Structure 1
Amino acid sequence: MIAAFQAQPQVNVRQFIAQYRFAPYGLGEVALELLLAVFIKYFGDELVYKTHPHEPGEISIQSFNQIELLVNQPEPFAQFEKRTLDDVHLTVLRELYALFSSTPLAVGALPRLRDVVLLLKHWFAQLPKIARAEDGYDDPQTKQFIQCLKKLDHAGPFDFLFQQLPAVWGYAADERFDEAVRQKLLHGVQVCREQLEQRLEQVEQAIFEGLLPLFHVTGNTFDDLADAIQCWYNALHVHQRDSTAAWQTPASKALLTHLKDTQHLRQVIYEDLPGSNNFGLGKVADWNTDNIKVYLRKVKEGLDTLQKYATLVAPPIVEVENGECYPTAGRTQMKVIYENQEELQIHVKIPPNATEVWVSYHGDPTAPNAQRQKLTADTLLSMVHEGVATAQMVAVDGEGNFSSIYTLQLQAKTWVDDRDAYEWKIPNPKDSKDCRVIFRAIADKLLKTQKVSKAEMLELLQQLIQEYQ
């Protein structure tokens, strides 16, 4: 049977069944079905089944039910055709299999057409949607490659691999499928595979780079962007953060909701923000088209809206004497490092367009139940002498509008470094003033760590005084 088929290009299915149903073979239905199954399995991809021989295409036999119908109800013109895969075709199969499979072929094994097509189909289906959106690519061949894969289910394995797919790179059906065609096909497929697999990363990078100027980022890392967004949010006035305000737009509401926390920024800018109801674009990986410009435009619209309604009240004016000042977070915070608590002076002045300044040592001074100090004139703040390390303040105008919250943090200069378990480190004093501060810092550290009691400390100091008199 096998030898007979190898010697002729076509076999009529009805005649084939009749030949083995009657003498001298006399096979029953089950035996005929098994015989046909072995026949189909043996020839594999070399076998083409058609019910209409003169029409294009082929029928894939994938279940035993189809074999039962072939034995019991064969179509009158149905036939098997022999398809011979030459060395070039087989090389293409092997290389495509190696390109898309994580499992290497056994030594001497040949991949089947159907197996290679299934590998391509599975690989394409696993790609994020944005990678399968053909309008995101400039290369026309990449676009055609994607279109070809989207129509994969409507083509036979042989036609797809050796007709439709090579056509992407200029192969015509009447051409000879030779080594030059093979090289062009495999090179093109490999290039397209790399482009599709890198597409999501490229889109995310384009979004990242587009956000940098919108938030005035000076660096070029994700941490730089996160810091800039945090500074932007912290600088917003309390009324700007009110997402229920009538002037808020869908874009500005989305920014307020999703950018107040930058801990998981990648998820925020690639999933949560574009996928929010107010943006309506979906996660970046799930985009069906290139929405980079649309996304960045929505972010800019939201930022512009919030900027339009920025506070009209300037923040409190803070001047420091005898302390080192370090403005942070968009100049809405300032850290002050001082050497001598008694000499440190903090002047709080009311800005020209405000009538008073509210100060709280326990949180937001604008909160309804906040314990606040109201300053109606320029004031020397007494927070240091009260033992308070942080103060938050806002300027208020006559209509009850607030400035952005200004946070002042105080920190005593470290004179005794006790991070080492075996030794303390102190700076080299410049003058008698530094000596006094260092003596005081050492004494405070000894008392705090309970190295000596207060009484013992006084006794030690008296002994030192007597020694130097």
Structure 2
Amino acid sequence: VLGQHPNAVFERQTISGPARAFINGLYNLFAAESGVVGEKHTISEAFGAVRDWWLALPNLARAADIYPADTYPTAHPLVELLTQVETHNPYAFVLGDLQSVYGYDFQGALTDQIQAEILEALKTDKAALEGGPGRVKDGLLTQLMKPFAPEGDLYGHYQAAIEAWYKDLDAGQQDPFAEWHNNQSQAIIQHLKTITNIETTFFERLPAHAGFGLGRVDDWRRDRSTEYARMFKDGLAHIEAYRIQVPAPVWEVRGVGVKKQPTRDGAQI
């Protein structure tokens, strides 16, 4: 305007009661601090609450591939919508795009029932997104712990199994600076020698180590669990391959009628 667009026309749209209830409900669901009961919020405020909540999530929570469409039929398209949230028009996003995610007509009029159903579905999907990284980490940790054969699935069991594995290594295997190391095996020896926190070790320090180069799990922009587990397994196998091989002993016994006979473990007596 201001002389640049003299023919511009402003259209004022009336917001219905159900739409107003949806806007307020959306704000209260996503805002860091819910509004006062009965307080009316604008579309811009509701949009800003959703946008700020989304941008505050860790990268992994915003990765669409951790919400497969067959398991998360609405969370998946919601993530795809939110990925471009900063480019959306607030009005269209709040009173159109969100309706489409939940199977309603983009231009359809909101009713009390529809707005309540969308808010309830959003509440469920919000929880799914907030819990996404934890779900990925749980599955990842299960994969990483398999080689250690822990007695249970508690962190204490994991730590005890790793400590037993490390103590069973020979001195050459425990040396983090030995020439035989590859990138993964060296990182594993360095970080598994002493563990004070399972999550910090396996979700932050180890994957972010140059030997893995994957970065912190929370910072992943896609699920790299399979890749991480494979690299970890290969690193453990490399360490095991350099275990000192001690040949089976051969006992020489002299005497009349003495015969050599192999034992179960291969020794000769």
Could you state the TM-score of these two structures normalised by the residue count of structure 2? 0.85
Residue 104 of structure 1 aligns with which residue?
Answer: 34
Whole-Å separation in 2 of the counterparts to 1:185 and 1:218:
44
Q: Which of these residues, 165, 173, 176, is aligned with residue 240 of structure 1?
A: 173
How much is the aligned-residue C-alpha RMSD, in angstroms?
2.0
Shift of 1:193: 0.3
Deviations 1:126-156 (A, max 9, x none): 1111000000112242121011112222222
Does the aligned pair in 2 maintain the 1:130–1:284 contact within 8 Å?
Answer: yes
Letter in 2 for 1:143: H
**Residue ranges of structure 2 left out of the alignment (5+ in a row):** 252-269
Q: Which has the higher strand share?
A: 1
Say whether residues 1:255 and 2:185 are aligned partners: no
Residue 156 of structure 2 aligns with which residue?
Answer: 223
Whole-Å separation in 2 of the counterparts to 1:198 and 1:281:
21
Could you state the TM-score of these two structures normalised by the residue count of structure 1? 0.50
Say whether residues 1:303 and 2:233 are aligned partners: no
Whole-Å separation in 2 of the counterparts to 1:105 and 1:257:
49
Say whether residues 1:352 and 2:260 are aligned partners: no
Rg larger in structure: 1
Does the aligned pair in 2 maintain the 1:132–1:288 contact within 8 Å?
Answer: yes
Change in 2 beyond 3 A, CA 1:289/1:218: same
Shift of 1:122: 0.8
Whole-Å separation in 1 of the counterparts to 2:103 and 2:129:
20
Letter in 1 for 2:13: R
Say whether residues 1:189 and 2:122 are aligned partners: yes
Aligned residues: 248
Taking the TM superposition and a 5 Å limit, the aligned residue runs for 1:77-116 are 77-116=7-46
Deviations 1:403-441 (A, max 9, x none): xxxxxxxxxxxxxxxxxxxxxxxxxxxxxxxxxxxxxxx
Q: Secondary structure, in 3 states, of the residue corresponding to 2:246?
A: coil
Does the aligned pair in 2 maintain the 1:135–1:289 contact within 8 Å?
Answer: yes
Does the aligned pair in 2 maintain the 1:212–1:220 contact within 8 Å?
Answer: no
Letter in 2 for 1:352: P
Find runs of 4+ consecutive structure 1 residues off by over 6 angstroms: none
Residue 59 of structure 2 aligns with which residue?
Answer: 129
Q: Secondary structure, in 3 states, of the residue corresponding to 2:74?
A: helix
Q: Secondary structure, in 3 states, of the residue corresponding to 2:14?
A: coil
Q: Secondary structure, in 3 states, of the residue corresponding to 1:211?
A: helix
Whole-Å separation in 2 of the counterparts to 1:121 and 1:186:
16
Q: Secondary structure, in 3 states, of the residue corresponding to 2:10?
A: strand
Shift of 1:352: 2.6
Residue 120 of structure 1 aligns with which residue?
Answer: 50
Q: Which of these residues, 197, 208, 218, is aligned with residue 285 of structure 1?
A: 218
Letter in 1 for 2:108: E
Residue 198 of structure 2 aligns with which residue?
Answer: 265
Deviations 1:273-306 (A, max 9, x none): 0111111111011111111111111111111111
Q: Secondary structure, in 3 states, of the residue corresponding to 2:11?
A: strand
